[in-house]
Structure 1
Amino acid sequence: MTEFIVPQTSAKAQKHSAPQDRIRRWVWKLCIATLILMAIGSTTRVMNAGLACPDWPLCYGTLVPRAQMNLQVFLEWFHRLDAALIGVGALSLSVICWWNRRQLPGWLPWAATFALGLIMFQGVLGGLTVTQLLRFDIVTAHLGTALLFFSTLLVMGTALTPYQGTGTAGKLPWLGLTAAILVYLQSLLGALVASRWALHQCLTVKALCSVMYSHIGFVVLPSLAIIAVVWMSWRTPALHPTLRLLANMTGGLLLLQILLGIATLRLHLQIEPLTVAHQAVGAALLGSLVIFTVLGWRDSASAPITGLRAFLAAR
């Protein structure tokens, strides 16, 4: 009887985990695609290709503008194509989650629906970006929504990834969340600087310098928060190696981001790859903090179980 029951339970567990495994892999693929999409969007902006397609959602009235195709048109057209594919991927994710909801955590279909809502809103903002001729507040909201969509996917993927914590994270998740929020706000300020061309304005006609200086000055707060995450991670005994690695990664990305920011400022945005890398590294920094925070909460949640296991082992 025991030999019969064990395989039956194992088969049932495998049946329930199979959809979750497929969804987890799909979510991580969407995360990578979204990061690439944001880099393409940044390239489109620094190459002055935001209005290369004067209409929306088509480009010169067609799906593929072969006659008008050049580098700028290609960047804007490909950016839209990539965004549309991610939108289809988010729709598929939501449908699959609701279809398999009985075999998934209860929060997952709702999270997938929230992500779908964000990408739909992002599509509306993308259209308004063109029809409103790159209005700075819409462009800023466009990047802010993209980062929020990216973060939502990361929360889903990290929550679905197998992980056995050590129960030693303590207050680190809250520190990581604080740092993530500050980095997100700093990214919005950076988007505002970019959408208003504040650096060019300040260096040439001494206008909008307050916008540029707000981005430069605010960097102190997220930097201190990230340094605190790294320092506390080093001082936390028996911290899970993954959390320690993520903390070190955020410290390295912070240093790289500051160097890129200084280079971008000193070179007056003359080297486009530096500007694109500055935004991409900022998104990666936010992503690493989101993953660190979610894993930290999962680690903290395992603390009572870990303590019980240690007590039983000691006895």
Structure 2
Amino acid sequence: MHHTTLAQMAITALIVALLPLSMVWISKDVDKYRKLVWVSVFLTFDLIVFGAFTRLTDSGLGCPDWPGCYGLANPFLAHDEIRAAEALMPTGPVTLFKAWVEMIHRYLAMGIGILIMAMMATAWYRWRREKKAGYQPGYPTALFLFICLQGAFGAWTVTLKLQPIIVTMHLLLGMGLLALLVWFGEKQNHAVQSSGPAGVPAVMPGGLRVLAALSGVVLLVQLFLGGWVSTNYATLACTEFPLCGGGRVIPEMDFGHGFHLWRELGKTSAGHYLPFSALTAIHWVHRNFALVVVFVLGYTCWRARHVAALRKPVRGIAIVLVLQALTGIATIYLSYPLAIAVLHNAGAAALVLCLTMVNYRVVFLTSPR
């Protein structure tokens, strides 16, 4: 790619980042650094939701190269190439709409990368001058390295033609970035609270710390299973609920091919077409593991319901669990409507956000009974 194109892309990403940076700068919040962290949380949540829209509209290859579009900075400049590809295959994978969806997703990701770079630069500068604990640069530096890894998986998503394990890992890393930013935001809030009058730590029920950590592990497994369903296009492998596959509780399933991780999209590891029974296995496991998620996270919420410091995020988890069940069932019965499918992905991100808050507060804001 020509250096002029890279410069154009860098300028565009900077423009995308300037709006949230300006909002942080003009805000009345005295702690601009903390404000920057939480603005980054908000935009990362939005990026995950828009990433789901990108995936669900089959726009992942809307621009078949990376980081630009046909070697150019945006679909405006690549208009002729996109129209030529669209003329050959009117429904894609390359269309003008899908190209714009994909490039907006990339520019939003680049904008968040610039916000994290600003966070890292501020931390290093303030740490060298003030040595305050809230500005320790290790965490924002780790965030920067993490988003570089996420960008690499974004590139491999395109260059490896939507290989399911790569796309699933891209999704998981996006959720991981959200969790890391929320944890950092909670840390900044804690630093502000610690600088004020000392409070008495909330008393938590015994074993809640273990339960919260277990909930995180269970949610991580379900995120992988949900990503695996989406990236293998197995959402409608079961068109009934609670039954599946011709009115059976346990349908015909091919776990070996369904959960072989390193293979092309729609193919077995041997290069043959993936059997429908493999897609059924993928869908069935995600659907049934959701019961484990509801039980573990629901029990955690019940145990934590009386802890004042946990009340809001726990209430959020309980509400989102109900909505996730409803949107998951609606996706099956309404034949995979786009809006509900995107909302289901947004619910998963909301669970990550709320559960990260619970885990941080259980560790740092409460004391065992």
Give the TM-score taking structure 2 as reference length: 0.71
Q: Please name the residue that 1:132 is paired with.
A: 160
SS in 2 for 1:193: helix
SS in 2 for 1:168: strand
Equivalent position amino acid for 2:335 in 1:
H
Deviates more, 1:41-50 or 1:291-300: 291-300
Equivalent position amino acid for 2:223 in 1:
S
1:94 and 1:30 map into 2 onto residues whose CA distance is 12
Q: Please name the residue that 2:109 is paired with.
A: 83
2:68 and 2:216 map into 1 onto residues whose CA distance is 36
Deviation at 1:233, TM superposition (A): 2.3
Deviation string 1:209-253 (CA, Å, 9 cap, x unpaired) is: 11111111111222112111221123x4xx22x411221111011
2:222 and 2:186 map into 1 onto residues whose CA distance is 23
- Is it true that 1:275 corresponds to 2:303 in the alignment? no
Deviation string 1:93-138 (CA, Å, 9 cap, x unpaired) is: 1121122224332784211111111100011111110011000010
Deviation string 1:271-296 (CA, Å, 9 cap, x unpaired) is: 10111110111110111011112122
- Is it true that 1:217 corresponds to 2:217 in the alignment? no
Choose from 13, 17, 21 the match for 2:31. Answer: 21
1:72 and 1:179 map into 2 onto residues whose CA distance is 36
- Is it true that 1:243 corresponds to 2:317 in the alignment? no
- Is it true that 1:254 corresponds to 2:321 in the alignment? yes
Choose from 288, 298, 303 the match for 1:227. Answer: 298
SS in 1 for 2:235: helix
Q: Please name the residue that 1:307 is paired with.
A: none
Choose from 63, 69, 86 the match for 2:73. Answer: 63
Q: Please name the residue that 1:45 is paired with.
A: 55
**60 and 248 in structure 1: CA distance in 2 versus 1, 3 angstrom threshold:** same
Matches within 5 A, 1:125-164: 125-161=153-189, 162-163=192-193, 164=199
Deviation at 1:201, TM superposition (A): 5.0
Q: Is the 8 A contact 1:169 1:299 kept in 2?
A: no
Deviates more, 1:153-162 or 1:201-210: 201-210
Equivalent position amino acid for 2:325 in 1:
I
1:166 and 1:112 map into 2 onto residues whose CA distance is 27
Q: Please name the residue that 1:308 is paired with.
A: none
Deviation string 1:147-182 (CA, Å, 9 cap, x unpaired) is: 111100000001111445642124433322221221
Give the TM-score taking structure 1 as reference length: 0.83
Gapped regions of structure 1 (runs ≥ 5):
1-18, 305-315
SS in 1 for 2:133: coil
Q: Is the 8 A contact 1:20 1:160 kept in 2?
A: no
1:213 and 1:107 map into 2 onto residues whose CA distance is 46
Structure with larger RCO (C-alpha < 8 A, sep 6+): 1
1:150 and 1:127 map into 2 onto residues whose CA distance is 19
Q: Is the 8 A contact 1:169 1:300 kept in 2?
A: yes
Runs of 4+ in 1 over 3 A off after TM superposition: 162-166, 200-207
Q: Please name the residue that 1:96 is paired with.
A: 122
Q: Please name the residue that 2:203 is paired with.
A: 168
1:109 and 1:293 map into 2 onto residues whose CA distance is 22
Deviation at 1:299, TM superposition (A): 2.1
Count of equivalent residues: 281
Q: Is the 8 A contact 2:123 2:135 kept in 1?
A: no
Q: Is the 8 A contact 2:124 2:135 kept in 1?
A: no
Deviation at 1:20, TM superposition (A): 9.3
Choose from 262, 266, 276 the match for 2:333. Answer: 266
